[in-house]
Structure 1
């Protein structure tokens, strides 16, 4: 106590008492939030203890900064800091309710670019959320009522105590966390771990450091960084299957992004009716190859991450979206590779070109035409969620598609089947589910509407003569139903949704129609990063000269390992979730040693891809015959 008095700290001091009340209120509110809002996977008593104490250091530090302010305004500034911290916590709560993830600084830059998300955000809010600001309200009432007579003497000397204590508690926290999870800050791809061990605010600081570090990495990178990467990728290259290689040479390519569609919906019947009868028929009749163990591998960029993998066969960023943060990089995309084979490329999207910064990143990919919302009838009856409804979008796209010189490489981004999945009256007569969850109930109607739109699109392609000369690739971009709806999903699937089961639910559909080839169901475990080399090999383009992480799924040398962006993975034998190892066949938990080998391969793949993207290494790589893209050659202005 004598040492504290040297700094003017006394528990009888009203300023100190007010400060301690603020710290305690924020501490307990944050811990309660952890327990009721976030699924952090607490596995032992040490993790429980760390979860309880980790809000203390950041509360002491940030609120302690108020002591550095001018003495007359100290109380108001402390309340203001409490409000900002509460707002940041609540923003993460709302974000987590859908994405099961935490906000990073790159995500904030995405939010400034992407409009039209108000409806989704509001649907995730509740009147009871006032709880997240009760501490600020209490402090404000105490301040206004003058219950605490805060003195006007200088507080700056006091600041040393909470700031020093904050650092000491954080170091104690970190040492315990490292004991339970070695190399937490250097090896973990999973934000859940960082928040569980260190807290939401400390994670945000770490995120800011990592973002700054990523920017510096590009500046310091050189061609020397490529040698090891090139050798590793080429050593793991899967040679094309001669029975499939070149079978679609010279044909058009049509990608269709199936918004939020998960594989559990395929062949699912609701009240005796198939939810997706058209897609089911493609798999049953052999009109297309259907991949029933295909997984999405997206991160925070969701749909944009799926696009990025489809175009580049590289993993998305662990934080934020490549489309926002790395749009100025050099890429060797599918559309760019096919230019030497006289392909014209185009993207069709029922939203405006600036949404997710597509107008910039598409230039880096070398996409020739971008048909955005300005080309469509965006009347109220045609629009929902993030843009145009699927049926009018695909119908109005046909004349634009027909206008392209052949062969073409095209991509259609569907939007209707998007959270919260509400349907306008008259769009579908398919019944809603009855699982006690509005979002899950509406998902079946929304998915059925998408299926109807796809059937119409296939019929139009056949009528226009494009179907028999086009490879059609349809893929689910990411999950639609998050972990927050596990109770309803347990009713849908008839099984409890454990962490293992949730990992298995990350399957999304992949259909590939190849004219002249009889399709079938492919059971190989594969992911979105593998689609680009698979399609290029069908077109007769050997990808061995390019730095791609994925491999041709049809290859006899293909290795069935699907890394997830958070460092987990799935194989036909084992699945890793949150550091725990399971038998993929039975779901039984195994000794972690059973997952050691695929875990190391997963880390290596993610690290290599991250080095390529964060350091912009493709600017130093010159494949033979590839003409680098100059983004200045591409502009997307609707002149009509």
Structure 2
């Protein structure tokens, strides 16, 4: 278990000896832009000279990088993006490097420090020559974007009102021009307000999307265009605001399928409200700008029908020609075989723009609705994937079947993220009971959260079905009619009775429909569990678990019970004072403090539940497992970074996406930490392994057996194995344990394995292929 960590350190030490740290370098020219836009990605040339005694090259993983500091010199971002040298630089040689820099999100004055790094070895010592520090002012985009649009709207309104007497055609032309420009600005505002850092979206694609939106006006009489444009613009603002909130939480735009969960908006309103920020008031300003057109004069066209028709047809042709590039780009994505493996629409944002993404979403949704399904070759590839997976995961090992015939209790704990396990604040353990389980049972410390937009429903779907969630939307709504062959069904076929319990409404995440389909014979929700103390949305975890114990005592043995706690849910804005037991300092974020209090409370509730099992005489014949349903949703900003004493980096973001997984058995000798990499898809196979049930051939996951080659595929295309970590959105490769950067090529096999697994699993869910994969 720990051997891999020691092996990693030995290999790292060997690499250090093989490639010592370079001794010197000099900056010849370093002149970054003095003014940059927040969240942008900028590039500028830098000349560096090798003054050391060894060459720099891609073979030794040498890169130019940077650090961001505040004016006092304190580091804000240490691990900047890497820029390639472009070839081998021998001692004494000078190289011109194009340095790419991601600009901070917040406006202000910063110090940009040029740096060089030899990956996994060291950061170069400070350079000689010209200063490596430059002062950069980061400007906010939103005031300029929205203010510019307001000025444009005012000027255009003036032109329309002043010129309507001598050129009536100004009204329709200006209306079309304004709507296209409005859509262009709104598309930019979405990216900036959502905090997406990266290269700017293509201006042409944003403009093309705006022209396609304006094309809708052609279907109406011209005299209605100004007011129709007002309505379209207002709807665009509403959609853009929804996209912004969705991007902040899920990292994706709001798809057509995501609206299927709109009925739950009332229950999650606090979470939605917590995502809003003061800068979102710019959307209100945009809405106000759209009202100007409502008061534009109507175009009183006196021309005969055919000339009027020809003029509108000509205008439609111009708009279609201007918008055609985004249509061509969307068609290319749909036809591209690799396009089917795009893990998130947001990954196409730099290519298509916001409106192009919505067009792609609409096209894909329509294609799915009227499509013919998978081609025979695609079905063959999927069957081969599962057949190969079955051959490489035999039912064997010393722990296989050790607890055959035992009861199984599986707890899904709301928002339980791995960093709280073992965390101490001011000498206080946040989760003392879970900490004790690390010695009392098996603790899997490198299990990744693999949920996507379905959040908690994805968590239970993955854990019970050993399949990946959909790339867009939630299985709970999109594929509730599938033929599932989940863990409860498998255990029922082995003579187990099955039950589930959740202290909230039965309709939430469509559980009243899904749980019977998963194979649960009985389910207990708010109505069956009765009233009691409420924390957050439903019964407090302590009350909930206390109410469930009699149900377990009454169940026919062996039984499988799936228990879903609710606890304190995102946004963690309130927690009862009487339930707070930690004495916390000012963490800089009240929500984070409430989250830690909630984790301490649920920790105590779990301790009481384990005692209750023992008191009921069930502990000696019951395997108890628990896991976190998904990460808590805290951004890696100052409060969390200071609490965990870490710094922001792409690989750190991904490494934090872990949830604890515990298994406690009646055999006290089966205990210790397992640090092989896995995901939530591995939970069901691991539990079946202990119960002596062979892994079903349709499961994606594999039993988390110490010493196996670990692997986890994440919904955005990122992934990890026991050695490496791949971060798809940032195209970053790193060592799993040290998080030191590696060449992208080192992660290429991992990246390909992630793509293959996600594509196969999602196809099974999308096309309801489980019976075909399982066979007769």
TM-score higher than 0.5: yes
Closer, same or farther: CA 467–481 of 1 in aligned 2, 3 Å = same
Q: Give the equivalent residue in structure 1 for 2:700.
A: 549
What SS is found at the alignment partner of 2:384?
helix
> Do structure 1's residue 348 and structure 2's residue 505 form an aligned pair?
no
Q: Please state which structure has a larger fraction of its residues in strand.
A: 2
Worse-matched range after superposition: 287-296 or 190-199: 190-199
Instruction: Tell me the matched-pair count.
Output: 595
Superposed CA RMSD: 2.6
Q: Give the equivalent residue in structure 1 for 2:218.
A: 67
The answer as to whether partners of 1:11 and 1:17 remain within 8 angstroms in 2 is no
Q: Give the equivalent residue in structure 2 for 1:619.
A: 771
Q: Give the equivalent residue in structure 1 for 2:722.
A: 572
Provide Cα deviations, 1:498-519, integer angstroms capped at 9, x if missing partner: 1111000001100011212421
**CA deviation after TM superposition for structure 1 residue 204, in Å:** 2.0
**CA deviation after TM superposition for structure 1 residue 332, in Å:** 1.4
The answer as to whether partners of 2:190 and 2:241 remain within 8 angstroms in 1 is no
Structure 2 Cα separation of the partners of residues 340 and 37 of structure 1: 48
Closer, same or farther: CA 26–171 of 1 in aligned 2, 3 Å = closer
Q: Give the equivalent residue in structure 2 for 1:34.
A: 191
Structure 1 Cα separation of the partners of residues 287 and 338 of structure 2: 33
Q: Give the equivalent residue in structure 2 for 1:338.
A: 491
The answer as to whether partners of 2:719 and 2:754 remain within 8 angstroms in 1 is yes
> Do structure 1's residue 598 and structure 2's residue 598 form an aligned pair?
no
The answer as to whether partners of 1:526 and 1:553 remain within 8 angstroms in 2 is yes
Structure 1 Cα separation of the partners of residues 375 and 620 of structure 2: 46
Q: Give the equivalent residue in structure 2 for 1:168.
A: 324
Closer, same or farther: CA 49–190 of 1 in aligned 2, 3 Å = closer
Question: What is the TM-score when the length of structure 2 is the normalising length?
Answer: 0.72
| 2:454 aligned residue (301, 315, 318) | 301
| 2:442 aligned residue (275, 289, 298) | 289
Structure 1 Cα separation of the partners of residues 606 and 171 of structure 2: 67
Computing the radius of gyration from Cα coordinates, the structure with the larger value is: 2
What SS is found at the alignment partner of 2:440?
coil
Worse-matched range after superposition: 207-216 or 247-256: 207-216
Q: Give the equivalent residue in structure 1 for 2:658.
A: 507
Worse-matched range after superposition: 90-99 or 184-193: 184-193
What SS is found at the alignment partner of 1:135?
helix
Worse-matched range after superposition: 365-374 or 56-65: 56-65
**CA deviation after TM superposition for structure 1 residue 12, in Å:** 6.9
* Residues 46-195 of structure 1: pairs in structure 2 closer than 5 A: 47-48=199-200, 50=202, 52-112=203-263, 115-126=266-277, 128-144=279-295, 146=296, 150-152=299-301, 156-157=312-313, 159-161=315-317, 163-170=319-326, 185-195=339-349
Closer, same or farther: CA 355–433 of 1 in aligned 2, 3 Å = farther
**CA deviation after TM superposition for structure 1 residue 28, in Å:** 2.1
Any unmatched runs of 5+ in structure 1? 1-9, 625-640
What SS is found at the alignment partner of 1:478?
coil
Provide Cα deviations, 1:397-430, integer angstroms capped at 9, x if missing partner: 1112222111111111111131112202312232
Closer, same or farther: CA 231–71 of 1 in aligned 2, 3 Å = closer
Q: Give the equivalent residue in structure 2 for 1:7.
A: none
Provide Cα deviations, 1:103-137, integer angstroms capped at 9, x if missing partner: 22221102225651122222333465231132331
Closer, same or farther: CA 114–27 of 1 in aligned 2, 3 Å = closer
Q: Give the equivalent residue in structure 2 for 1:204.
A: 358
Structure 2 Cα separation of the partners of residues 341 and 293 of structure 1: 30
| 1:229 aligned residue (363, 382, 390) | 382
Provide Cα deviations, 1:186-237, integer angstroms capped at 9, x if missing partner: 43213321223212222122123323434456x6469996554343323233
Question: What is the TM-score when the length of structure 1 is the normalising length?
Answer: 0.87
Closer, same or farther: CA 368–114 of 1 in aligned 2, 3 Å = farther
Worse-matched range after superposition: 488-497 or 122-131: 122-131
**CA deviation after TM superposition for structure 1 residue 431, in Å:** 3.4
Closer, same or farther: CA 372–576 of 1 in aligned 2, 3 Å = same
The answer as to whether partners of 1:580 and 1:592 remain within 8 angstroms in 2 is yes
Structure 2 Cα separation of the partners of residues 224 and 298 of structure 1: 29
If asked which structure has higher relative contact order (CA below 8 Å, sep 6+), I would say 1
Closer, same or farther: CA 472–226 of 1 in aligned 2, 3 Å = farther
> Do structure 1's residue 520 and structure 2's residue 672 form an aligned pair?
yes
Structure 2 Cα separation of the partners of residues 389 and 161 of structure 1: 61
Q: Please state which structure has a larger fraction of its residues in helix.
A: 1
Worse-matched range after superposition: 297-306 or 157-166: 157-166
* Residues 216-295 of structure 1: pairs in structure 2 closer than 5 A: 216=370, 220=373, 227-236=380-389, 237-283=392-438, 286-295=439-448
Closer, same or farther: CA 495–127 of 1 in aligned 2, 3 Å = closer
